[in-house]
Amino acid sequence: MRNVIEIPRELAASQEKFNGEAGRAFITELPARTAHFLDHWKLKPDGPLMHGVCALVLPVLCPDGAPAVLKLQILDEESEGEPVALRVWNGDGAVRLIDHDEPTCTMLLERLDETRMLSHVPDTHQAVVTIAELLAHLTSFPAPPGLRRLGDIARAMLDRTPWALGRIPDPEARRLVADCAAAVREVVDEPGDRLLHWDLHDENVLASDRAHWLAIDPKPLSGDPGFELWPALDNRYDPDDILWRFDAMTDVLALDRPRARAWTLARLLQNTLWDIEDGRPLDNDQLEIARRLRTPRTP
């Protein structure tokens, strides 16, 4: 185990799909990289491998016996900001970073309880409020220099919108996406400067002994907290609950609702561009989220 690991087939497939040649190279060198960091940080494997779409996670024991996890992932524009954000939060509302290798973006992290995930909480309203409370705290930190900026991302999306609209055959869906782009144009010149997690869904919130709930796996950027709401609207999708969730989250985060609505619609625009670029059909559930948020309501 110390020198050889068995690469999960699902991880190899996702790296092939999303990263092509770079993903294949990452998978090929992953056993040697794992062995290197086990030796480098004097770690002892302490449980079965885990993985997501992008990363391999190995439970380990540190030299002092403290439980931790070794996270190995490909270095890209999303992952390179993860240790930066974790250092800013310093364990306050998020998993604690113990050590980090900058060239490979390999991280040694405190071990949380993967069996106690927010997605296991049966009350979806409670889960949404928990995410909102975490976001209110995490986004209270100003973004450090050098992170991806929401303004740049939003302008690039707007530049691609005419191309995307020409590839949406359904007139109603095309109008909906055009409306989302129009909403983004209203706010793009004031993109915000908070430290955003970007991907705080209910499987990225775990329990630990030191805190009831902690965030993991950020894809951080600098921007407006309204851009954070989408995952909690999409978790355990329920069309009749979308407006309740949006109102509850904007209340907890004390956000201006029209502005938060615009940045939430930006997430539909972002997902639409990715779907079209990858040749996938648009997601009807995600379209419905945008459809229900598109029209401002009278208080």
Contacts of 96 (CB under 8 A, 6+ apart): 86, 90, 109, 110
> What gap in Å lies between CA 193 and CA 143, rounded to an integer?
6
DSSP E strands in the chain: the ranges are 44-45, 50-51, 55-61, 67-73, 97-101, 106-110, 113-117, 194-196, 205-207, 214-215, 221-223
In the numeric block, the tokens 């939430």 are attached to 264
Contacts of 1 (CB under 8 A, 6+ apart): 45
Instruction: Categorise residue 127: left if φ over 0, alpha if ψ from -120 to 50, beta otherwise.
Output: alpha
CB 181 within 8 A of CB 266: no
Catalytic residue annotation: 199
> What gap in Å lies between CA 202 and CA 105, rounded to an integer?
24
